[in-house]
Amino acid sequence: MIIGVGIDVVDVARFMQTIERTPRLREKLFTPAERDLAPSSLAARFAAKEAIAKALGAPGGMSWQDATVHRVPGGPPQVEVSGTVAARADALGISRFHLSISHDAGIASAMVVAES
């Protein structure tokens, strides 16, 4: 059963300008596994985390560090959750996230379906 759906779109250049203005933001938003990716991939992961939050009802108090988006060669990206994000997912009965990310023409986007 679908519990929630989230979508987000990010302007890659604008996002990277923000990261460059506030370098500590990279550490706040991304896990060590994500931090050194190309700008379009970073923006796509930020869009994915926003979409995940929306699928969870956008509650306050969730940590950006508690969601990691992993590349899977030949397959869709996988979402790994822990801490605050996992607690919210558990509270809603969510057992799986389906994630699609894309980046083209300076725009990164993500769509998430949260399923029980």
What CATH number does the domain containing 61 carry?
3.90.470.20
Q: How confident is the model at residue 42 (pLDDT cuts 50, 70, 90)?
A: very high
Instruction: Kindly tell me if the per-residue pLDDT of 53 is higher than 90.
Output: yes
pLDDT given for residue 34 in this prediction = 93
pLDDT given for residue 100 in this prediction = 97
Q: How confident is the model at residue 23 (pLDDT cuts 50, 70, 90)?
A: confident
pLDDT given for residue 59 in this prediction = 78
Q: Count of domains in the chain?
A: 1
Residues of the domain holding 57: 2-115
Average pLDDT, the chain: 95
Instruction: Kindly tell me if the per-residue pLDDT of 58 is higher than 90.
Output: no
Do β-strands 107-115 and 96-104 pair in parallel, antiparallel, or remain unpaired? antiparallel
Q: What is the DSSP string of 26-81?
A: HHHHS-TTTTTS-HHHHHHHHHHHHHHHHHTT--TT--GGGEEEE--TTS--EEEE
Amino acid, res. 54: K
